[in-house]
Structure 1
């Protein structure tokens, strides 16, 4: 259960960024929920990010292993990380208890190379318990900023708000996609999606990024609430309109671009 989105930001020179956003709710049946569950991950030294939906246990345990392996892996002459993520997931799954195998999806986004020569790629790995099979799908990169994948129990709610934002002056922008996603979470239309939004991304240069998010006037990082003045160092902050935020003041950065609501 989840609401999860993946999208690409495109400027006049091509794809400039890729993001994965998620909610933070973990559900046990219909009554028990926890709204600080981590669902997105970013490598610290490599341009690679992950998110998941569906069953929680396997991806919550497996993705941190993949992140550590990627961060410590070498780079091939073509600029690709040596580790093959699909093979690594299947290897981890091989001896996973058969009685615990449930539907799960994993989104992996990466950049091969740096700068204008870098190429972005997104892979979707899904396991269907009914057929007991894994499937991997490659996502084509767009020519304008676009929502590339929406999944999870809240997918219909996200698509509905995305359609509304696409009808506004902010259409075909990263801010429209993230704002639509946050609006869908606030609506409460999916009981299994909730809590603060989480966000990771990669740019043309640098490693994966985990963003801090200001939600309902509070700071959150990887889904967890940050009490007091605790501010992780070296991260960017965004609000629900995708504006760049001062993590201390919880206000838009001086000189930062203002984004209007729909």
Structure 2
């Protein structure tokens, strides 16, 4: 996937004016090509399926999301487009820890913070803290999609340590190069790891 992302970022996967559907299909076509070129690696995949989430923006203010899935039994790729609602909510819940997340999700979606992005993130971090599935764990990762500009990766303050894209980076010094959030989705200072002055508090109503 990193190769495909780099190809796309350099304008070599689809035209600049390509529609979101054309972009998704270009990703699928490249995945199909890669799997044909490396059959031995494909045969070594132990999972029954692989899932990739592709999100994009069009007309500057609208968003698009598709789940791209590969089934080992058929060795074929398919895509499922999801309609986005008018408020913050989950789009897809995938992976081995999905059942534990969904159990907590029902409670969060009845709380005072329902229909907000912070409720989803609270549910996600809460699930990670209490996760029983041995294949899940580590620090949460957070990416923001906005109406202007590219996707934004956030640094995460989690259990007293700094992480970026799931990797601990406490031995680095340029913490101001990115924005930081803690497990409550509060805006934090990357150096002190504390919530910034005047930043809005985002208490978790179900974990006090």
Q: TM-score, normalised by structure 1?
A: 0.70
Q: State whether structure 2 residue 53 is matched by structure 1 residue 112.
A: no
Q: State whether structure 2 residue 90 is matched by structure 1 residue 152.
A: no
- Give the structure, 1 or 2, with the largest relative contact order (CA under 8 Å, sep 6 or more): 1
Q: Secondary structure at the match of 1:150?
A: coil
Instruction: Return the alpha-carbon distance in structure 2 between the equivalents of residues 222 and 228 of structure 1.
Output: 15
Report which of the two structures shows the higher radius of gyration computed on alpha carbons: 2
Greater share of residues in strand: 1
How far 1:71 moved relative to its partner?
A: 1.2
Matches within 5 A, 1:28-177: 63-73=1-11, 74-76=15-17, 84-97=26-39, 98-101=42-45, 102=47, 103-114=49-60, 118-177=61-120
RMSD: 2.1
Unaligned runs of 5+ in 1: 1-62
In structure 2, the CA distance between the partners of 1:104 and 1:261, relative to structure 1 (3 Å rule), is same
Greater share of residues in helix: 2
How far 1:140 moved relative to its partner?
A: 0.6
In structure 2, the CA distance between the partners of 1:147 and 1:154, relative to structure 1 (3 Å rule), is same
In structure 2, the CA distance between the partners of 1:81 and 1:238, relative to structure 1 (3 Å rule), is farther
Paired residues, what number? 197
